[in-house]
Amino acid sequence: MRALLIAQKIYTDNHNPLHQGNVRIDMEDVLIECVPNFSEGRNLETIEAIKSAILSTPNINLLDIDIGHDFNRTVITMVGTPESVLEAAINSSKVAYELIDMQQHSGEHARMGAVDVVPFIPLTNASMDLCTEIAKKYGEIISSECNVPIYLYGEAATSTDRVSLPNIRRGEFEGFSEKIKHQNWRPDFGTIEFNKKSGVTATGSRNMLIAYNVNLDTDDKSLANTIAGKIRTSGVLKRNSRGEKIPDNDGKPLRLPGKFKSLQAAGWMFDETTAQVSMNLLNYNITGLHHVTESIAFEAQKLGLQVLSSELVGLVPLDAFIEAGKFYSSDGEDLSEKELVNAAVVGLKLDVIDDFIAEDNIIEWTISKNRS
């Protein structure tokens, strides 16, 4: 009830009066997406308890649960009204902090806390400002009641150093006991006392991103990371002939920018024999699924490798599939939405690992299915 009242106040403060043009917008017509990442991908009882905490919240649509055993990480996608999303995020986080001990955690994916990141994303009739205020309220409550230091990132970031989630996460759980003491890395909410069991959590507001991985026919993660460095926005460090970093006038290492804008990428392992380029597409209208897939295939070929398959983590907007479908179709303008989606699935090799069910992976179609 408290989370509901808080969210109502946040909504009223950010939407006063509650009108857009001549149309009145009720709170029930506002939809927020939340994609919390939990550092547990192996203990199904813990994952089920987190899931139950979300499902017990009124007005929540739980759209997807992506469980990664090797990453030891679970990504949940939920959509609901502002008050329901805030309440579900708080309740599920409390369950995770109780059941997950980061001192016993290991996994392939970078992580810094039992609840690693909790982003709030504007959907129907929602603004970025509203999502920022919800993130701040989440941080206030969690830091106070769970004794977990909270960092704000994305559009909610309080400094340029904290806009990028990988920048906050650098050093991971093992490094945060010292990192949190530095003046530049004091948490936005909570004390500088490191929580050895739960770690730290990032929350914030952002546009919808696409978490997308492309798998290669090699077990050498360094080759995947080489490709990632060529395509990601941040590129790679400049080095001299001796392999040493080249600093700028302020002593910071210079970088060679990568090929694409709005792209994060790194080399990881899909399983023991398969390396992958793991990516976040921060703006799919600028850098799309087909752009990165084709570029990875090109770079892989130069290294004597091939793309085996790809996978999505969480849900994807329909527009992203439509654009990829047009790229992989010779007559894209004459195809239906479903035909374009099918073309994208085949072109991106999303159906190689397992059957790809579009209704469970495209956010608009999933919401429509849940309402029917």
Q: What is the DSSP string of 47-82?
A: HHHHHHHHHTSTTEEEEEEEEETTTTEEEEEEEE-H
337, 196: one domain: no
pLDDT of residue 22: 36
164, 70: one domain: yes
Q: What is the pLDDT of residues 78-127, one digit of tens each?
A: 999 999 999 999 999 999 999 999 999 988 888 999 999 999 999 878 99
> Of the given ranges (131-135, 161-165, 295-299, 348-352), which has the lowest mean pLDDT?
161-165
H or E stretch including 102? none
287, 185: one domain: no
pLDDT of residue 143: 97
Residue 16 phi/psi, 5° resolution?
A: -130, 110
Of 186, 205, 224, the residue at which a domain comes to its end is 205
Residue 134 phi/psi, 5° resolution?
A: -65, -40
290 annotated active-site: no
77, 154: one domain: yes
pLDDT of residue 12: 43
158, 81: one domain: yes
179, 231: one domain: no
Residue 308 phi/psi, 5° resolution?
A: -90, -45
pLDDT of residue 248: 84
26, 135: one domain: yes
Q: How far apart are the first and last CA of the chain?
A: 28
Of 205, 231, 254, the residue at which a domain comes to its end is 205
Domain that holds residue 289: 210-371
DSSP 254: P
Spatial distance between the Cα atoms of 154 and 40, rounded to a whole number of angstroms = 24
pLDDT, the chain, mean: 90
248, 112: one domain: no
Q: What is the pLDDT of residues 216-246, one digit of tens each?
A: 999 999 999 999 999 999 999 988 888 888 8
Band the pLDDT of 18: cuts 50, 70, 90. Answer: very low
139, 73: one domain: yes
Which residue, 123, 74, 115, is CA-closest to 98?
A: 115
Pair 124, 364: CB distance under 8 Å: no
DSSP 202: E
Q: What is the pLDDT of residues 332-363, one digit of tens each?
A: 678 999 999 999 999 999 999 999 999 989 98
Q: Coil, helix or strand for 193?
A: coil
147, 231: one domain: no
How confident is the model over 126-153, as a mean pLDDT?
A: 97
134, 240: one domain: no
Pair 289, 340: CB distance under 8 Å: no
Total-model pTM: 0.70
pLDDT of residue 129: 96
Q: Positive or negative, the Cα torsion across 115, 121, 126, 128?
A: positive
Strand boundaries in the chain, DSSP class E: 19-20, 23-24, 32-34, 37-38, 60-68, 73-80, 115-122, 150-154, 201-205, 210-216, 236-237, 255-256, 263-271, 274-281, 307-313
Q: What is the CATH number of the domain that holds 344?
A: 3.30.70.670
Q: What percent of the chain has pLDDT over 90?
A: 74
Of 15, 109, 290, 291, catalytic: 109
- Both tokens of residue 117? 């990141």
Pair 117, 37: CB distance under 8 Å: yes
pLDDT of residue 370: 72
How confident is the model over 289-304, as a mean pLDDT?
A: 98
Domains contained in the chain, number: 2
Of 171, 205, 239, the residue at which a domain comes to its end is 205
Return the higher-pLDDT residue of 177 and 369.
Answer: 177
How confident is the model over 284-313, as a mean pLDDT?
A: 97
Q: What is the CATH number of the domain that holds 57?
A: 3.30.990.10
214, 199: one domain: no
